[in-house]
Chain A
């Protein structure tokens, strides 16, 4: 476990080389119990180029609750290192006062009480205010706005418009570039259509034409900002065709393709780049490893794993910046670039407290406009919860428990499976459950809820496979989701064991009997990546369940035993 002391020393060592780091400023701000807009937005003038990063918005335009994970285990070399630090340990590591606004924004500690105190976060109209302020303070010509992807998917309205609503709203923020992941689940034709419509670049150096084995997207672009040449290299989610349905974009191949990152960095430097930025959807651990192996990248703006860290993690001089998800945060990286290189940096992770930051009225109007055709359906109440409903966390979340319960009952299954996505918003006790809330947890283009017979052995093989995608000690073999959530079955997992031997004690909960490898069980699930999967859409399954059980109360899930 990295201690705070070690961490500070690591940061200070870099600051000695590159100029002032912001260590200390964060903790002072964090200690304040009350925040004003000025506290959140005021910045010290520093450097000559500013990178603004937002990522994994998952089509969330309106303020929301999003509970950060209470369990986010790291394995191998990254065990106990950020972002694999949660709850009270996180507060201690970053010297954040428990109960403070930043404790609420960054951890799951006392989430319900603090949600009631500090309110919802995010909202792209608030984000717009922040970005306009940064552009005004820093000078429009000195700012690059970079979107890390997973922008167009994750809401009812994004689903209905196949991403069009998000494209319109994001265009109003005027990004300079984006990359992608869930964008591809709209299918190749729709992606091409939307990408061609963008007034900025969609970058992805690791996306290839599968047939001809040649680059399918623009890999990188040079920007002239305040007299500084900034190269931005795009890196889409490397395992899109594995984690999502490959048949939807059969002609595109992805992968980490580290050698291409190296090549693009060299190309950018040889064309005179003073600063090289990787706009990445690799996931945090993949980017940390990449930073340790590829020379010449100044800043990695990472995404995919939804981590929000108040300070950069510095790997061999590369700043790795994690800006959270759901428009809950915006990152501002001010760089002092002179004599062709980065001399120093100043970093702020800006939490978007929706009750503190004034919405940008123009953006509010645009968001209202794109939502207007759907507003009535979005607000339709389909249930009520007396429990906190959330998804994020390695093993289970109460929102998934609701999904798993609905699948068991509505599909008359022994066991249910719900994918370990990291998107999906939270509801606090006492809230109505609306159509919008339900779709925030499942809006996607392959929603069919299948029912199938599977042997106990096949179930184990599947769970072992997913566990290895999450807990392989080599980050390059990780896919970045959380564990598949399981209803009707308990198990024990040893995250540090080898592939194939992490899972034990599989138990059918309704009988208390051990799962028999040879027996067939009725299994219901959703989000199959197979083409032509049959079954009702998951939102219809859950809505059907809620019609019979409109009052949701979910006990803490004790069916997964974790050895870490």
Chain B
């Protein structure tokens, strides 16, 4: 019987992608340090505090190719209480930069949702820069798994 390796793999559609990108060293694979550096570039060297920003991700990705990620920052979005921008990073992707969202008072609220591709299990990081210069960060690990043996 002929069967491709991908068809025959007993442990999920994600398995092929997992085995290829998750365990073979890719030359351009970023390190957590690269992501740290991007955070510092974004904040202008200021260490972010926790709180105010809430990052929402699944604990385990159903499909590493399209992982829903949403972020919300507590802010009145008027007067001095304004969010300037939010940076999203994936610290294990070949290129950690995912998105930067810019806000104004016209935005009404500082919330955004997107879908990102995650090559392997890693942290997703969200950093909010406020109008007053203060910075806040939230971080969630998203597991990219082969799956298929639960139950």
Contact = CB atoms under 8 A, between A and B. Distances in A.
A423 B151 CA distance: 8
Nearest to B68: A213
A534 B1 contact: yes
Interface stretch (A98-106, A248-256, A360-368): A248-256
Given A244-B151, A450-B3, A452-B5, A525 B10 contact: yes
Nearest to B56: A259
Contacts of B60: 239, 242, 255, 477, 479
Contacts of A255: 58-60, 62
A419 interface: yes
A472 B12 CA distance: 19
Interface stretch (A38-46, A111-119, A326-334, A459-467): A459-467
Given A242-B12, A465-B11, 15 more contacts: A253-B68, A256-B58, A422-B151, A451-B1, A457-B23, A458-B19, A466-B11, A469-B145, A477-B141, A481-B149, A481-B150, A484-B149, A526-B10, A528-B10, A530-B7
Contact of A242 (B3, B7, B148): B148
B6 interface: yes
A220 interface: no
Contacts of B97: none
A315 to B, nearest CB: 19
Nearest to A525: B10
Contact of A451 (B8, B150, B151): B8
Nearest to A252: B62
B10 to A, nearest CB: 4
Given A451-B3, A477-B143, A534-B7, A241 B149 contact: no
A236 B68 CA distance: 19
Contact of B13 (A247, A461, A484): A247
6 contacts: A239-B60, A243-B149, A417-B10, A420-B149, A527-B10, A528-B9
A480 B59 CA distance: 14
Contacts of A462: 10-11, 15, 146
Interface in A436-472: 450-454, 457-458, 461-462, 465-466, 468-469, 472
Contacts of A392: none
A309 B149 CA distance: 25
Nearest to B121: A499
B108 interface: no
Interface in B112-133: 113, 121
Nearest to B8: A452
A243 B5 contact: no
Contacts of A469: 145, 147, 149-150
Contact of A480 (B141, B143, B151): B151
B150 A243 contact: yes
Contacts of A477: 59-60, 141, 143
Contacts of A461: 18-19, 22-23, 146
B148 A529 contact: yes
Contacts of B11: 462, 465-466, 528-529
Interface residues of A, number: 58
A528 B148 CA distance: 7
Interface in A520-549: 523, 525-535
Interface residues of B, number: 35
A531 B13 contact: yes
A213 B70 CA distance: 11
Given A465-B146, A477-B60, A532 B7 contact: yes
Interface of B: 1, 3, 5-15, 18-19, 22-23, 56, 58-60, 62-63, 68, 113, 121, 141, 143, 145-151
Centre residue among B6, B12, B59, B148 by max chain A CB count within 10 A: B148
Contacts of B147: 239, 242-243, 469, 479, 529
Contact of A527 (B7, B59, B148): B148
Interface in A491-544: 499, 523, 525-535
A450 B10 contact: yes
Contacts of B148: 242-244, 419, 527-529
Contacts of A529: 11-13, 147-148
A250 B139 CA distance: 28
Interface string A188-200: 0000000000000
A288 interface: no
B150 A480 contact: yes
Nearest to A304: B151
A130 B141 CA distance: 45
Contacts of B113: 213
Nearest first, the 7 A-B pairs at minimum CB distance are: A243-B150, A452-B8, A479-B150, A242-B147, A481-B150, A525-B10, A529-B148
Contacts of A242: 12, 14, 60, 62, 145, 147-148, 150
A530 B9 contact: yes
Nearest to B59: A476
A469 to B, nearest CB: 6
A458 B5 CA distance: 11
Contacts of A239: 60, 147, 150
Contacts of A244: 148, 150-151
A532 B8 CA distance: 9
Interface string A244-287: 10110000011110010000000000000000000000000000
